[in-house]
Amino acid sequence: MDNTLEDRKNFYHILARKMRILILAVSLIPLMLTAGILSYRFHLVYVEKVRAHASELVQKHTQNIDAFLFEKLGNIRYLARGYKDFGPDRSRAFLTENLAALKDEYGDVFTDLGLVDENGVQFAYAGPFRLENADYSDAKWFVASREKPDYISDVFAGLRGHPHFIIAVKTGPGRSDPILRATINFAAFNSLVGNIRLGRTGLAFIVNREGELQTHARDGISETILRDMAGSARTDAQGRSFYADTRDSDGTSYLYVSSTFNHIDWRMVFFQALGDALADQRRAQVLTLVFFSLGCIAILSVALILPRKIVNLIESADRKNQAMNKQVVESGKLASIGELAAGIAHEINNPVAIMVEEAGWMGDLLEDEDPDPGNIREEFRRSINQIGIQGQRCKDITHKLLSFARKTEVPVADLQVNEAIEEIVALTAQMAKYSNVSMETDLGPDLPYIRISPAELQQIILNLVNNAIDAMGKAGGTIRIETRAGTPEGVVIVFSDNGPGIPEGNLGRIFDPFFTTKSVGKGTGLGLSICYGIIRKMGGSIEVQSRMGQGTRFEIMLPVHLDECLPPEELTVKQENINESNKPKRDERDEIIVCG
């Protein structure tokens, strides 16, 4: 019994575990997949959005700066075209007048204006510094501007030591024509780039073709770092702008966007640490992760508690079901035995009635004075003999009953099916006789022993006999019981009658509990259901075939090896009887018994 309890506990434990795994699988896997896919898609979309935004920003500022440079270059070109060889004084006045006009128009963008002759000497100058006659013959911008009609220099410290850049335009097509030079205020120019700010780390700057910085860094960012970044920036940009994810020496990833100018060989460069660019996304991810974790904890709690509760309910329902099954089997047993008892009582009543009459007859004889004492003695002898015969008849009936009843006390035994069939046939013979039913048996030889509860085997056969007798009614008929060895090893019992048969609509329901076609009070509807339950419990099978007006045939297969099929409560009994299981098979001859 301990093993059985352990088995059942294991069963419920495994059931709970399976439910737990199932709950986790159907809840967590979709949740994880959904969360993962959504998070990944969101990341892709967000990165795309950040890149697009940065790219748009850089392009817009590139265009602004391009427009700024183009406009300032246009201003100087216009002045250059208006310059004639005025001589030094008029030239100075020309410059001063135009510088004032430019300052009026643009504020402090233009610092000064100067005219430089073919030798690099500034022969006229207007501006805040004393740069008249300054020699630019070695200046890079001067050398470059001699070859082109106009030129915009890189940012450089120059003679004054302040960062600035030069716009130089030739005043005529000849090589000796002076060059009009304007200095652009670096601070004004730098503010165009310095305004580009994104997040904590987003910064923009301009580099020349050699990768040298042309603008200042934002506050707090050293130029060394900017130079490092500019150095690491790609120089193979061909389009208007492009972006890439780069990684610095610390392993920090950066979003990098670059754009080229139309009027000068510079590039606008924008950097932002990816972590900073994706900060909002990170915050959303953290929030999602918190809710995801809470969801997981809730699912885990449900997976831990719910299966245990459900299994407890199932366990309790199983226990009730088992108790109810026992009651159903018990009441079914009582019903079939009750039917048998009614027949037996009638059978005993007849000899008892004879004995009572014989006793009455003897009493009658004693009351009267018979003139022939010899005759009286003869009658007494006959009556006593009759009483003896009828007493013996009663004894035979009670013995059969006792043998039947005794078998109900044994839980499991190795049985010969034939013996049980013969007993039931003998017990029900009288009942069959009154119903005009004849019973035939054809019991096969060499049947293996079946390990079964004798009471349950009796119940199966008795139920089928009772049903057949009831079904055939007053018309009577024949019940035939055959046995033979079955494959796989077991015993096949074929139980057939030539009664009215079972309607096709009822065939599928005859094993259902409480299904009966008998009138109210005559049948419980449990007989066949109990037979089915017992046979299935033994690992056997029962099949039914029926044809209206021709009869019904039940074929029952009972296997020999019932180790896996025995009900848990009988496992221990089976273990005790294990030594008896190798009993030799008993030889039996074919026999046909006809009752009726």
Partner 1 sequence: MNQISQNEMSGMKLLFVDDEKGFVDTLIRRLERRKIDARAVYSGNDAITFLADNKGMDLVILDVKMPGMDGIETLKEIKKQFPLTEVIMLTGHATVGSAIDGMKLGAFDYLTKPCDLEQLLEKSSAAVVRKWNQEEKIQEARIQEICGRRV
Site residues for partner 1 per CB under 8 A = 342-343, 345-346, 349-350, 352-358, 360-361, 364, 368, 383, 386, 389-390, 433-434, 436, 474, 596
Q: Are 201 and 281 in contact (CB under 8 A)?
A: no
Report the residue number, 29 or 359, with the smaller CB distance to partner 1: 359
**Rounded to the nearest whole angstrom, what is the least distance from the CB of residue 378 to partner 1 in the complex?**
13
**Rounded to the nearest whole angstrom, what is the least distance from the CB of residue 435 to partner 1 in the complex?**
9
**Rounded to the nearest whole angstrom, what is the least distance from the CB of residue 594 to partner 1 in the complex?**
14
Distance between CA atoms of residues 135 and 121, nearest Å: 5
Please report which residue ranges of 148-278 form alpha helices under DSSP H: 186-194, 223-232, 274-277
Distance between CA atoms of residues 423 and 291, nearest Å: 74
Report the residue number, 239 or 521, with the smaller CB distance to partner 1: 521
**Rounded to the nearest whole angstrom, what is the least distance from the CB of residue 438 to partner 1 in the complex?**
10
Distance between CA atoms of residues 230 and 210, nearest Å: 10
**Rounded to the nearest whole angstrom, what is the least distance from the CB of residue 384 to partner 1 in the complex?**
12
Report the residue number, 130 or 474, with the smaller CB distance to partner 1: 474
Q: Are 457 and 415 in contact (CB under 8 A)?
A: yes
Report the residue number, 194 or 391, with the smaller CB distance to partner 1: 391
Angle, helices 2-82 vs 279-367, to 10°: value is 160
Report the residue number, 194 or 596, with the smaller CB distance to partner 1: 596
Report the residue number, 272 or 383, with the smaller CB distance to partner 1: 383
**Rounded to the nearest whole angstrom, what is the least distance from the CB of residue 381 to partner 1 in the complex?**
14
Q: Which whole-number Å values give the CA distances from 336 to 281, 398, 418, 514, 556, in the listed order?
A: 78, 18, 20, 14, 19
The per-residue b/e assignment along 95-127, b for 16 or more CB within 10 angstroms, e otherwise, is beebbeebeeebeebbbbbbbbeeebebbbbbb
Which of 426, 479, 470, 419 is CA-nearest to residue 449?
Answer: 419
Angle at 310 between CA 309 and CA 315, to 5 degrees: 95
Report the residue number, 2 or 367, with the smaller CB distance to partner 1: 367
**Rounded to the nearest whole angstrom, what is the least distance from the CB of residue 365 to partner 1 in the complex?**
8
Distance between CA atoms of residues 511 and 565, nearest Å: 20
Which of 118, 115, 103, 96 is CA-nearest to residue 72?
Answer: 103
Report the residue number, 38 or 475, with the smaller CB distance to partner 1: 475
**Rounded to the nearest whole angstrom, what is the least distance from the CB of residue 425 to partner 1 in the complex?**
17
